[in-house]
């Protein structure tokens, strides 16, 4: 199967491309500037059409998006154009040229809003988006669902809407909470060693009481591959661990991985106006449709995230 992966330059894209290649598929990646794979600007219909015509993919895994909540809040107009209009343009071009292809659209678990009580979120639960990013994903989903239900000829390609919850791993940007904490620890380690001082590493945080469903990015892309390979999968699928963790507890686990003392400082600049207090979801539908199951332990992932940041900033702690 020839799979077109948009957003190849992002955090998840390289993981997905490697996973697809290991599974024996031909993979074509795209990036906004063409630095990774083929150039694709979702806001240029000519660019979109050229990519589809040139590559003729059997499947599309659409990752490209304005994906960070703070970035989406700063520029909601661009977020809407990329995350909604871009989806319409790209999938319409694919449907016209390759009606027998399959589409995996990566939405987000953020479309649900907060969990009510301890009941896990399932795909049939109502959406309740609380920020510009989540609203854009809901709108893109709605447009795709309209195409799926239409009586157009030829029929719309088989479409899977993935709703991944918080995914983490080595290589993630510091704008995401756990990766940002790890960067601060690694930078603090480097400063203390280089200055030969002994002092606590100060970690600036936002809301530590929020609870999230975290999943290793390698388990997330494994789910994407399973859906793309399924001969029957269609509709909406949660991708999650099924466990809810307090952000502050995971920060404590990261702090326990450094030999230095740490201190936590809450910053109002890191607090979100519309933050979700609790998130707990179910991946039962995905597990029933495919043979997917997560294989990475959260403790191992946290250690790998910190070690990755140590390498990126040049921290001598943990080095061979």
The string of pLDDT tens digits covering residues 193-233 is 999 888 999 999 988 998 899 999 999 999 999 999 999 99
Whether the Cβ atoms of residue 161 and residue 107 lie closer than 8 Å to each other? yes
- Find out whether 237 and 285 touch, Cβ atoms under 8 Å: yes
Query: Has residue 86 got a pLDDT over 80?
Result: yes
Question: Does domain 2-168+214-239 correspond to CATH entry 3.20.20.370?
Answer: no
Selection from 74, 313, 61 nearest residue 191 by Cα:
313
User: Is residue 273 predicted with pLDDT exceeding 70?
Assistant: no
Q: How confident is the model at residue 308 (pLDDT cuts 50, 70, 90)?
A: very high
In whole angstroms, give the CA distance from residue 305 to residue 171. Answer: 7
Q: Which fold has domain 177-210+244-276+296-313?
A: UDP-galactose 4-epimerase; domain 1 (3.90.25)
Tokens for 315, please give them.
Answer: 């921290």
pLDDT mean over 277-303: 94
Task: Outline which parts of the chain fall under CATH 3.40.50.720.
Answer: 2-168+214-239
In whole angstroms, what is the distance from residue 252 CA to residue 306 CA? 13
Query: Residues of CATH 3.90.25.10 domain(s) within the chain?
Result: 177-210+244-276+296-313
Mean model confidence pLDDT for the chain:
93
> Which pLDDT band, with edges at 50, 70 and 90, does 276 fall under?
low
The whole-number pLDDT of residue 197 equals 86
Structure tokens at 60: 């599309």
């Amino acid at each position: 199967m020839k799979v077109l992966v948009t957003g190849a330059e992002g955090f998840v894209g390289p993981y997905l491309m490697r996973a697809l290649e290991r599974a024996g598929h031909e993979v074509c990646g795209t990036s906004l500037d063409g630095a990774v794979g083929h150039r694709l600007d979702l806001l240029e219909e000519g660019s979109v059409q050229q990519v589809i015509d040139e590559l003729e993919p059997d499947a599309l895994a659409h990752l490209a998006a304005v994906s960070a909540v703070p970035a989406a809040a700063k520029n909601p107009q661009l977020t809407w154009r990329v995350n909604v209009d871009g989806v319409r343009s790209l999938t319409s071009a694919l449907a016209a040229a390759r009606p027998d292809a399959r589409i995996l659209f990566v939405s987000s678990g953020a479309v649900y809003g907060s969990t009510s009580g301890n009941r896990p979120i399932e795909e049939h639960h109502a959406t309740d988006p609380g920020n510009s990013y989540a609203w854009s994903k809901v709108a893109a989903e709605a447009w795709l669902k309209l195409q799926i239900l239409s009586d157009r000829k030829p029929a719309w390609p088989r479409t899977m809407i993935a709703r991944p919850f918080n995914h983490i791993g080595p290589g993630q940007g510091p704008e995401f909470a756990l990766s940002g904490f790890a960067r601060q620890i690694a930078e603090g380690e480097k400063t203390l060693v280089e200055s030969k001082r002994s002092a606590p590493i100060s970690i600036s945080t936002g809301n530590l009481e929020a609870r999230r469903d975290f999943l290793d990015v390698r388990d997330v892309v494994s789910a994407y591959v399973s859906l793309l390979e399924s001969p029957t999968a269609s509709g909406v699928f949660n991708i999650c661990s099924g466990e809810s963790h307090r952000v502050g507890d995971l920060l404590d686990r990261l702090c326990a991985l450094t030999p230095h003392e740490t201190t936590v400082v809450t910053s109002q600049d890191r607090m979100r106006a519309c933050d979700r207090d609790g998130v707990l979801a179910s991946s039962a539908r995905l597990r029933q449709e495919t043979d997917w199951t997560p294989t990475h332990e959260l403790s191992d992932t946290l250690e790998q995230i910190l070690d990755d940041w140590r390498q990126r900033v040049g921290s001598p702690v943990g080095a061979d």
